[in-house]
Amino acid sequence: MNAIISPGSVIGVLGSGQLGRMFTIAARRMGYRVRVLSPDDDTPAGQVADVEIQADYEDLDAVAEFARGVDVISFEFENVPVTTAEVAARYAPVRPAGQVLHTTQHRLREKTFLRNAGLPVTPFAPVRSAADLEGAIATVGLPAVLKTASWGYDGKGQVRVESHQQAVEACQALNGAEAVLESWIDFDSELSVVAVRGLTGELACFDPIANIHRHHILDVSLAPAQVETSVRSGAIEIARTVMTQLNVVGVLCVEFFLTRDGHLLINELAPRPHNSGHLTIDAHVACQFEQQVRAVCGLPLASTEQLRPAAMANLLGDLWEDGLPLWHQACALPDVKLHLYGKREPRPGRKMGHVTALASSTASAAEHVLEARARLTRRPQH
């Protein structure tokens, strides 16, 4: 199982969105062939892969046929069914393994794993019934956040509750779905650490990235994060522990709250490259996607050194509301890089691409990236 999968081999990817696209670009640059499978066609990843296969993840015959045609398999988002990963693993190694998916795609399993591993996690309690809700409120307190246990991302499936009545109404709206009640954290900032672990247990971590969200969707990421040295080292050590305890082979992102008194709490895990790590494409020796290729193929990991301070801003479908964005105006800034994902239909809240700005300082990069994004909709005055 530890044999190197050399360039020229075929990597399979379950999922075909923008993360798969950027992974595929990195893999092809290194000489690999890539096949992707998802329920859609003409996808961001499919546009740049060697082969795009359209099939439901639950079509296990199609999954098996797909797996027989590749040398190793990874996934680009955590909502691939565990059964799909298990069937694929009969024919090719799946990295990270299906057990990692099983833990991280379910909030209660994930948080229980973190707590049992002795890692700092936001206080939580399971909610499977109205009686559970009463106990959860007594344990966690109010205000709190009620989240569905499964299938949540970008703020979906969660609601803040400030009173007992709001909590009851939010629970009733779930129609019996399993949930988790978490303490509301009045945090100072949000951080993420993108970590990578190879087949031999080799570990590497990118320095913490500062994240700013808007309407529960990541808006801007800044690196290096302006935090105390103790916070930096603590976040990296926690990420290393998560990778080892979960036995991850591949890339995983640990998302943190930094409390006002300087403590780190894990918010959630993402067992794949992360939106906040997109700036590593332009700002680091090797990006998170190259690291994923290296890890799943058994190659030595690359340096995580950052070459220049950077900021990344997401481009959502909202930017298209008044017509095609003015790409030339953003590209006129010489230290700004444009990344578009090839999605056909812009919709409000849909991630269509991102811009990254490089500068002499994190603060300057932040100013440049916001200016670049503003220019996209700044219509000339007549």
- The answer to whether residue 47 scores a pLDDT higher than 70 is yes
C-alpha 238/C-alpha 244 separation (Å) is: 10
pLDDT for the residue 174: 83
- The answer to whether residue 190 scores a pLDDT higher than 90 is yes
Q: What is the mean pLDDT of residues 15-27?
A: 98
pLDDT for the residue 366: 98
> What does the angle CA 108 – CA 110 – CA 114 come to, to the nearest 5 degrees?
115
- The answer to whether residue 263 scores a pLDDT higher than 70 is yes
- The answer to whether residue 324 scores a pLDDT higher than 90 is yes
Convert the pLDDT of each residue in 205-247 to its tens digit: 999 999 999 998 999 999 999 999 999 999 999 999 999 999 9
Q: What is the mean pLDDT of residues 175-186?
A: 90
| β-bridge mates for residue 310, sequence order | 223, 358
Contact 162, 143 (CB under 8 A): yes
Tokens 């892969």 identify what position?
A: 49
Residue 52: pLDDT band by 50, 70, 90 thresholds? very high
C-alpha 254/C-alpha 234 separation (Å) is: 12
Number of CB atoms found within 10 A of residue 377's CB: 15
Residue 60: pLDDT band by 50, 70, 90 thresholds? very high
C-alpha 190/C-alpha 174 separation (Å) is: 27
- The answer to whether residue 50 scores a pLDDT higher than 70 is yes
Residue 316: pLDDT band by 50, 70, 90 thresholds? very high
pLDDT for the residue 130: 79
pLDDT for the residue 3: 87
pLDDT for the residue 379: 86
Q: Which domains does the chain have, with CATH numbers?
A: 10-94 (3.40.50.20), 123-183 (3.30.1490.20), 187-375 (3.30.470.20)
Q: Please list, residue by residue across 153-180, b when 16 or more beta carbons sit within 10 angstroms of its beta carbon and e when fewer do.
A: eeeebbbebeeeebbeebbeebeeebbb
- The answer to whether residue 65 scores a pLDDT higher than 70 is yes
Q: CB-side exposure of 156: number of CA atoms within 13 Å?
A: 7
Number of CB atoms found within 10 A of residue 102's CB: 15
In angstroms, the Cα distances linking 246 to 79, 98, 108, 115, 117 are 17, 11, 15, 13, 10
Q: Note every long-range contact of 332-341, with CB atoms under 8 Å and residues 24 or more positions apart, other chains counting.
A: 332/375, 333/357, 333/368, 333/371, 333/372, 333/375, 335/359, 335/368, 336/368, 336/369, 336/372, 337/281, 337/282, 339/22, 339/278, 339/281, 340/315, 341/17, 341/18, 341/21, 341/44
- The answer to whether residue 154 scores a pLDDT higher than 90 is no
pTM: 0.95
Q: What is the mean pLDDT of residues 117-143?
A: 92
- The answer to whether residue 2 scores a pLDDT higher than 80 is no
Task: Specify the higher pLDDT residue, 78 or 275.
Answer: 275
- The answer to whether residue 172 scores a pLDDT higher than 80 is yes
Tell me the pairing of strands 10-14 and 72-75.
parallel
